[in-house]
Amino acid sequence: MDCTALVTKQEIDGALAQLNLLYDGYKAQGLKLDMQRGRPCAEQLGLSNAMLDWGGAPYLCENGVDARNYGGDIEGTPEARRVVAEMLDVLPRNVIVWGSSSLNIMYDCIAKALLLGVYGGSEPWLAQAARGGGGKLKFLCPVPGYDRHFLITERLGFEMINVEMRADGPDMDAVERLVESDELIKGIWNIPKYNNPTGITYSDAVVRRFAALRPKARDFRIFWDNSYCVHDLYGESDSLTELISEAKKHGNEDMVYVFTSTSKVTFAGAGLAAIAASENNVKFIGKQLSVQSIGADKLNQLRHARFIQDRAHLKEIMARHAELIRPKFELVLSILKEEFGETAGAAGAEGAGGLCAWNNPRGGYFISLDAPDFCATEALRLAAEAGVRFTPAGATFPYGKDPRDRNIRIAPTVPSLDEVRLAVRVLALCVKLAYLNRKRRTSI
């Protein structure tokens, strides 16, 4: 059914009657489906179970430090730093492996910047805000983006400024204009590869513009959350220019914080998390960490390094993940195509036409669907009432407010193929219902 072609009240009512019948049928099934969060499924977690078995291997790190005891470098074991460096295309000396949650490191970096300042900064961010007459510190947020990023900057008191996400990365004209003119803008969130939720990878041109930024705030930081750096769905990886070395060409390497983790390589929330940065930053952050803790969990670092081994073996591990989840992504995309016709481009891309637009990701964990304007909340309410839960409407925007109320994030990795099929059929039906109900209201 092409909902956009329905014009008269009779046509719309006729279509609504048919769709409501289908909807009542789904409701009667008492469904309980959850497509909310991008987590690995049980089979993916099983791929790393071998890691939990020490198999009598020694507990010694390659530098001779006993992983069961205090001691060793605050920046992490040499083998774990090497594994992360290979993931991020940087040198091990630029890496600090720390804990098991990259989100925690991001929070920590911002909290410390507020209280203590960053390398090269004249004073803590909070002190600057107070001295400037209490003006609010600000953070740039390419949208749609990751709800947990936005929650951190919201709770830590920043004013968040939306920047449009395009098919090749954020609107860089806007980013440059804003950071070059406002000293209170202290950072920007980015997920540069297989973006959450749009799936896009930043182009070389966009990365080069980031590297060359001239922020008014000399202690500005680019938060480069490269969570999906190795998470290819297909054999060939999207290529992402490495930002720290690119920024170095402009003397800007201290402006960059890169983050990643193995939450979706090994175990979610129980993997390796890391920050990569310039040598100045690594030294500065390492010093702060040594006040905060005696040392990280070296046992986890050691077993991860032994399990992941090197770049080639990591590629094999990720190919096994892809085999498990690629069919789910392809199923979602084929149903969207069946339900809504051909899409004209990725979400955020220009020229999207038809009732909805969505991306065709080549990696990562999400499909981003743009429903017709002002229909996402209602569509997801209807879906929830039929027992199918998605990430709440608005979640992909700061303050939970999608100005066009249209973006829907689909996370297909956890449910089975049958569940994915059912959930996306219900979603498509609810989008059509929301659209036609609105069209009926607004055109009468």
Binding site for ligand PLP (CB under 6 A): 38, 101-103, 146, 191, 196, 225, 227, 261, 263, 268-269, 273
Closest separation in Å from C-beta 197 to ligand PLP: 9
Nearer to ligand PLP, 16 or 273 (CB): 273
Rounded distance between C-alpha atoms, residue 205 and residue 182, angstroms: 23
Rounded distance between C-alpha atoms, residue 424 and residue 383, angstroms: 10
Q: How much of the chain is in helix, strand and coil states, percent to nearest 5?
A: 45, 15, 40
Nearer to ligand PLP, 38 or 169 (CB): 38
Where in 45-192 does DSSP place strands (E)? 95-97, 138-143, 159-166, 169-170, 185-190
CA atoms within 13 A on the CB side of 156: 25
Q: Which residues pair with 106 in a beta bridge?
A: none
> For residue 95, what are its two tokens?
């890496």
Rounded to 5 degrees, φ, ψ at 235 are: -55, -40
Nearer to ligand PLP, 199 or 215 (CB): 199
Closest separation in Å from C-beta 195 to ligand PLP: 8
Nearer to ligand PLP, 102 or 396 (CB): 102
Q: Which residue type does 342 have? A: E
Closest separation in Å from C-beta 146 to ligand PLP: 4
Rounded distance between C-alpha atoms, residue 97 and residue 365, angstroms: 23
Closest separation in Å from C-beta 344 to ligand PLP: 26
Rounded distance between C-alpha atoms, residue 409 and residue 148, angstroms: 14
Closest separation in Å from C-beta 82 to ligand PLP: 19
Nearer to ligand PLP, 220 or 259 (CB): 259
Closest separation in Å from C-beta 10 to ligand PLP: 46
Closest separation in Å from C-beta 260 to ligand PLP: 8
Closest separation in Å from C-beta 261 to ligand PLP: 3
Rounded distance between C-alpha atoms, residue 407 and residue 358, angstroms: 9
Q: Which of 194, 181, 109, 135 is nearest to 368 (CA)?
A: 194
Q: Report residue 253 CA to chain centroid gap.
A: 23
Nearer to ligand PLP, 275 or 430 (CB): 275
Q: Which residue type does 379 have? A: A
Rounded distance between C-alpha atoms, residue 142 and residue 75, angstroms: 30
Closest residue to ligand PLP, Cβ-based? 261
Rounded to 5 degrees, φ, ψ at 433 are: -65, -45
Nearer to ligand PLP, 128 or 227 (CB): 227
Nearer to ligand PLP, 228 or 340 (CB): 228
